[in-house]
Amino acid sequence: MALILGIESSCDETSVSIVENGERILSEKTASQIDVHALYGGVVPEIASRYHLEKISILTKMVFDEVKIEPKQISAVAVTYGPGLIGPLLVGLSYAKALAYALHVPLIGVNHIIGHLNAVFLFDKTIVFPCLVLMVSGAHTEIFHMRSMNDFSVLGKSIDDAAGESFDKVARMLGLPYPGGPQIDMISKNGQPIYDFTKPKTAGKYDFSFSGLKTHVRYFLRDNSNVKIEDVGASFQETVSSMLVDKIVLAAKEYRIKDIIVAGGVAANSAIRRKTEEAGKSYGLSFHFPPIKYCTDNASMIAAAGWYDYKAGRFADLELNAVPNLEV
């Protein structure tokens, strides 16, 4: 039995978890900073770092107390070392290094994006390789060809804004609070997608571009002052979800792959889930999502990802540094 302590602090959630054998969450504690950063309309890195410092040791004690084990009983410490905000990353990484050193256990550095994938594998054992991955978050929008747990290739990505970033920016145009994605999703339930927003074209067949769409919405709002924000939100959300699903379906057809993972914070969006369900029925595809709770950042996905490295003996040394722009 391997008990992996996971630590996540890449942005505005401080999270600590203990996961057994990469599949059973024994305890997870997460402290969100959404209310703090909502005052500023977005994440303030310095404030986020201070908040992580305040919470991380408290959460760690809480998970050990809940599981009723001593720290020396864990097998390894897995921690996000990128991508993310440099200050928040360093808080979690420094704490993880100190724990691993003090407890004489291996340190495992986890790519945050790989962590999001494992939020799906934690709960879904039916995925067949090779599969495709649609990663949609505040900072990343990418399509991967996944041949095994450790064999990836990038087929396409956003050439400008990420999907989640565009949601936040359009939400601000509509006067909605941070975080914008859930707010647009909520108001869209009372609106209709009656406006035809442009889907930007890209040179790469699997690439995305959301900057032009965002600009279209801005000019539309400037020139049409009497529209309902619920209809604008629904129209924007419908356009983004169509762009995402159209590209992943295209990749599935060309690569002849049936299993598709959708992960990241934006994977919680109701329109994306609805459109993937429709595409699954139309094209015989199986879409795999994490539970809504595990779309957002959490330490269980980091511990689960770390377990695969633990099995393979892939450990980091104490010189491991944070890499804000880390890629898969």
| Residue showing tokens 């020396």 | 72
Task: Using pLDDT thresholds of 50, 70 and 90, give the confidence band for residue 39.
Answer: confident
Q: Please give the model's pTM, rounded to 2 decimal places.
A: 0.95
Distance between CA atoms of residues 72 and 55, nearest Å: 21
pLDDT digits (tens, 9 = 90+) for 260-303: 999 999 999 999 999 999 999 999 999 999 999 999 999 999 99
Note the pLDDT of residue 40. Answer: 87
What's the DSSP call for residue 268? G
Mean pLDDT estimate for the chain = 97
Give the pLDDT of residue 138: 86
What are the φ and ψ backbone dihedral angles of 15, each rounded to 5 degrees?
A: -140, 140
What pairing do the DSSP bridges indicate for beta strands 131-136 and 259-263? Answer: parallel
Mean pLDDT of 132-156: 95
Binding site, annotated residues for substrate: 135-139, 168, 181, 185, 269
In the chain, the amino acid numbered 93 is L
| Distances, alpha carbon 32 to alpha carbons 76, 154, 185, 253, 316, in Å | 25, 31, 20, 39, 28
Asked if 21 contacts 306 with a C-beta cutoff of 8 angstroms, the reply is no
Tokens 């009656």, located at residue: 194
- pLDDT tens sequence across 313-328: 999 999 999 999 999 8
Bind-site residues: 112, 116, 135-139, 168, 181, 185, 269, 297
Please say whether the beta carbons of 300 and 2 come within 8 A: no
Annotated binding site for Fe cation: 112, 116, 297
- Binned at pLDDT 50, 70 and 90, residue 238 comes out as very high
Domains of the chain, first to last? 3-117+295-312 (3.30.420.40), 126-289 (3.30.420.40)
* Cα–Cα distance, 266 to 273 (Å, whole number): 10
Note the pLDDT tens digit of each residue in 55-103. 999 999 999 999 999 999 999 999 999 999 999 999 999 999 999 999 9
Residue 150's pLDDT band (cuts 50, 70, 90): confident
Alpha-carbon span 124 to 111, nearest angstrom:
20
What digits encode the pLDDT tens for the residues 2-13?
999 999 999 999
